[in-house]
């Protein structure tokens, strides 16, 4: 099924109406933009690079069609920022730009941060928006959520996806290699993020969407034979990567949450972003961090399924989990100034003895069925690593500039930053998270 087929089939749910993927498609895209955004004025958000690679061409096309627009450049706020993140301050900044400019629609020329900032602020102001993608670096182009660092915690908040997305393959195939690697890393989280999604549905009865899975699977098929061609800036391989990113975002929009594409591996990446922002530590592109996180959680799944369920001592596991007050003290120590923001997510996720006991009993009683179910989507760590390596993606924490202590913390602390059940939570409830994390670092990350 093509992307347009999915757009048609889910047109009542999806805000995105058109996705144009092709070579040299910016020059002629203004009539399509006008159809959905109106006649202007438009507010165009860029940075120096995205202006150079796509903004200038769009500006010529807008001038030709006599569209009134103003350009704003995404601001840097702190010295240690390698590239700006989507946070409260930048959203507030763009909202002010909307108010000052009197724009009737907005255009994001960029990928992750620029798209999320424009998407969320435009949504708050009821403005339609479009995105001109400049790098295939993440799957948020078509998602109805924005990843926002809010009060220091990485959150995903509902909004509306762009009504049109323009993806020019000449630009995207030649984007910085690190950003291409990031896009592939974000997508290759699928085997573990979908496993987490299924695991939670089976153990906790949380929502799971077969329709979203169908979209994700279609996107996954587009990645066949793509990884090794990406470093050569191959147009057809880029078309596969971009198509898969678009479908991954649509799946999140159809599911109404990031669950189809974001599990424990994303928490590891979010933890790195949060601590980078709060304490001035190092970070990398979202999908590069996600790729490394994916190998960790794939390892945790291998450890999980190697257990003998008959040997799981449920009463001992329940007894070992401290009450909330004790955990809160531990989290204060771990998160410091971020504690009060983290507490909002960690507290509702903290299980009572009864909930934990029931969950683990369910796991043990249905072990084979849950394992078979998860194994329909799970892949081995080795096969994911090979695919990442084929595209020169980072596969070790040291490749993304994270030293050992912080790597261990990312694996063992990150589950508390969001109330969504993942393999990190299960490993912790079984009393194995710390040991398995240490082992993961021994096996893969030294
Ligand atoms: Zn992601």
**How far, in Å, from the CA of 270 to the mean position of ligand 1?**
9
pLDDT band at 446 (very low <50, low <70, confident <90, very high): low
**How far, in Å, from the CA of 70 to the mean position of ligand 1?**
30
Contact present, 374 and 213 (Cβ < 8 Å): no
**Mean of pLDDT values over 413-422:** 95
Q: 81 or 17: whose pLDDT is higher?
A: 17
- Please count the other Cβ atoms lying within 10 Å of the Cβ belonging to residue 250: 30
DSSP states along 353-400: HHHHHHHHHHHHHTHHHHHHHHHTT---HHHHHHHHHHTT---SGGGG
Confidence (pLDDT) at 21? 98
**How far, in Å, from the CA of 27 to the mean position of ligand 1?**
29
**How far, in Å, from the CA of 266 to the mean position of ligand 1?**
6
Please give the CATH topology (third level) of the domain spanning 3-175.
Answer: Rossmann fold (3.40.50)
Contact present, 5 and 30 (Cβ < 8 Å): no
**How far, in Å, from the CA of 140 to the mean position of ligand 1?**
7
**How far, in Å, from the CA of 138 to the mean position of ligand 1?**
6
Looking up tokens 């993961």 gives: 440
**Mean pLDDT score of the chain:** 95
**How far, in Å, from the CA of 261 to the mean position of ligand 1?**
7
**How far, in Å, from the CA of 405 to the mean position of ligand 1?**
24
**How far, in Å, from the CA of 6 to the mean position of ligand 1?**
21
**How far, in Å, from the CA of 338 to the mean position of ligand 1?**
22
Q: From CA 357, how far away is CA 352, in angstroms rounded?
A: 9
Q: Is the pLDDT of residue 80 over 80?
A: no
pLDDT band at 444 (very low <50, low <70, confident <90, very high): confident
**How far, in Å, from the CA of 43 to the mean position of ligand 1?**
26
Report how far Cα 82 is from the mean position of its chain's Cα atoms.
19
**How far, in Å, from the CA of 141 to the mean position of ligand 1?**
11
Numbered ranges of CATH 3.40.50.1970 in the chain: 3-175
**How far, in Å, from the CA of 220 to the mean position of ligand 1?**
15
**How far, in Å, from the CA of 214 to the mean position of ligand 1?**
18
**How far, in Å, from the CA of 44 to the mean position of ligand 1?**
24
**How far, in Å, from the CA of 291 to the mean position of ligand 1?**
9
**How far, in Å, from the CA of 85 to the mean position of ligand 1?**
14
- Helix H, strand E, coil C: the string for 155-192 is EEEECCCCCEEEEEHHHHHCCCHHHHHHHHHHHCCHHH
CA nearest neighbour of 219 among 241, 203, 192: 241
**Mean of pLDDT values over 383-404:** 96
Confidence (pLDDT) at 153? 82
Q: Specify the pTM.
A: 0.94
**How far, in Å, from the CA of 186 to the mean position of ligand 1?**
5
pLDDT band at 445 (very low <50, low <70, confident <90, very high): low
Instruction: Indicate the SS3 state at residue 97.
Output: helix
How is residue 312 written in tokens?
A: 């799981």
Q: From CA 218, how far away is CA 259, in angstroms rounded?
A: 17
Which numeric CATH code is attached to 257-444? 1.20.1090
Q: Is the pLDDT of residue 76 over 90?
A: no
| Per-residue DSSP letter, 205 | -
Least confident of 145-154, 279-288, 329-338, 351-360: 145-154
Paired with 160 in beta bridges are: none
**Mean of pLDDT values over 57-81:** 91
**How far, in Å, from the CA of 286 to the mean position of ligand 1?**
7
**How far, in Å, from the CA of 179 to the mean position of ligand 1?**
13
**How far, in Å, from the CA of 82 to the mean position of ligand 1?**
19
**How far, in Å, from the CA of 137 to the mean position of ligand 1?**
9
**How far, in Å, from the CA of 279 to the mean position of ligand 1?**
22
**How far, in Å, from the CA of 185 to the mean position of ligand 1?**
8
How is residue 121 written in tokens?
A: 């602020």
**How far, in Å, from the CA of 290 to the mean position of ligand 1?**
7
**How far, in Å, from the CA of 183 to the mean position of ligand 1?**
8
**Mean of pLDDT values over 171-200:** 97
**Mean of pLDDT values over 236-258:** 95
**How far, in Å, from the CA of 333 to the mean position of ligand 1?**
28
**How far, in Å, from the CA of 306 to the mean position of ligand 1?**
28
Confidence (pLDDT) at 88? 93
**How far, in Å, from the CA of 106 to the mean position of ligand 1?**
23
**How far, in Å, from the CA of 102 to the mean position of ligand 1?**
33
pLDDT band at 155 (very low <50, low <70, confident <90, very high): confident
Which H or E run contains 92?
helix 88-101
Confidence (pLDDT) at 239? 98
**How far, in Å, from the CA of 126 to the mean position of ligand 1?**
25
Contact present, 365 and 373 (Cβ < 8 Å): no
Sheet of 18-22, strands arranged across: 18-22, 164-168, 129-133, 105-109, 42-46, 69-73
**Mean of pLDDT values over 124-143:** 96
């Amino acid at each position: 099924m093509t992307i347009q087929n999915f757009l048609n089939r889910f047109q009542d749910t999806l805000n995105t109406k058109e996705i144009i993927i092709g070579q040299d498609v910016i020059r002629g895209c203004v009539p399509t933009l006008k159809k959905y955004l109106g006649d202007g004025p438009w507010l165009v958000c860029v940075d120096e690079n995205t202006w150079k690679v796509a903004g200038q061409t769009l500006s010529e096309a807008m001038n030709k069609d006599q569209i009134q627009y103003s350009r704003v450049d995404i601001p840097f706020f702190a010295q240690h920022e390698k590239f700006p993140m989507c946070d409260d301050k930048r959203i507030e900044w763009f909202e002010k730009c909307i108010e000052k400019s009197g724009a009737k629609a907005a255009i994001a020329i960029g990928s992750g941060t620029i798209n999320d900032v424009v998407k969320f602020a435009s949504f708050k102001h009821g403005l339609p928006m479009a995105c001109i993608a400049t790098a295939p670096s993440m799957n948020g182009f078509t998602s109805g959520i924005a990843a926002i660092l809010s009060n220091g915690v990485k959150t995903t908040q509902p909004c509306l996806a762009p009504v049109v997305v323009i993806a020019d393959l000449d630009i995207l195939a030649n984007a910085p290699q690190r950003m291409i690697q990031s896009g592939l890393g974000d997508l290759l989280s699928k085997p573990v993020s979908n496993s987490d999604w299924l695991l939670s549905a089976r153990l906790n009865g949380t929502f799971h969407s077969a329709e979203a899975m169908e979209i994700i699977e279609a996107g996954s098929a587009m990645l066949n034979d793509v990884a090794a061609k990406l470093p050569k800036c191959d147009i057809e391989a880029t078309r596969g990567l971009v198509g898969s990113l678009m479908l991954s975002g649509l799946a999140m929009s159809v599911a109404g949450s990031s669950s189809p594409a974001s599990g424990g591996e994303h928490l590891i990446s979010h933890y790195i972003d949060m601590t980078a922002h709060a304490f001035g530590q190092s970070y990398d592109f979202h999908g590069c961090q996600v790729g490394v996180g994916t190998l960790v959680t794939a390892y945790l799944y291998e450890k999980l399924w190697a257990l003998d369920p008959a040997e799981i001592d449920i009463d001992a596991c329940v007894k070992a989990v401290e009450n909330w007050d004790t955990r809160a003290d531990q989290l204060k120590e771990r998160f410091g100034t971020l504690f009060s923001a983290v507490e909002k997510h960690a507290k509702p996720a903290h299980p009572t003895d009864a909930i934990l006991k029931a969950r683990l009993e369910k796991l043990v009683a249905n072990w084979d069925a849950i394992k078979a179910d998860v194994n329909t989507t799970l892949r081995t760590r080795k096969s994911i690593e090979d695919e990442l390596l084929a595209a020169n993606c980072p596969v070790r924490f040291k490749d993304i500039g994270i030293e050992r202590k912080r790597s261990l913390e990312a694996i063992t602390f990150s589950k508390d930053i969001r109330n969504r059940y993942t393999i990190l939570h299960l490993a912790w409830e079984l009393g194995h998270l710390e040991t398995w994390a240490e082992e993961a670092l021994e096996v893969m990350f030294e």
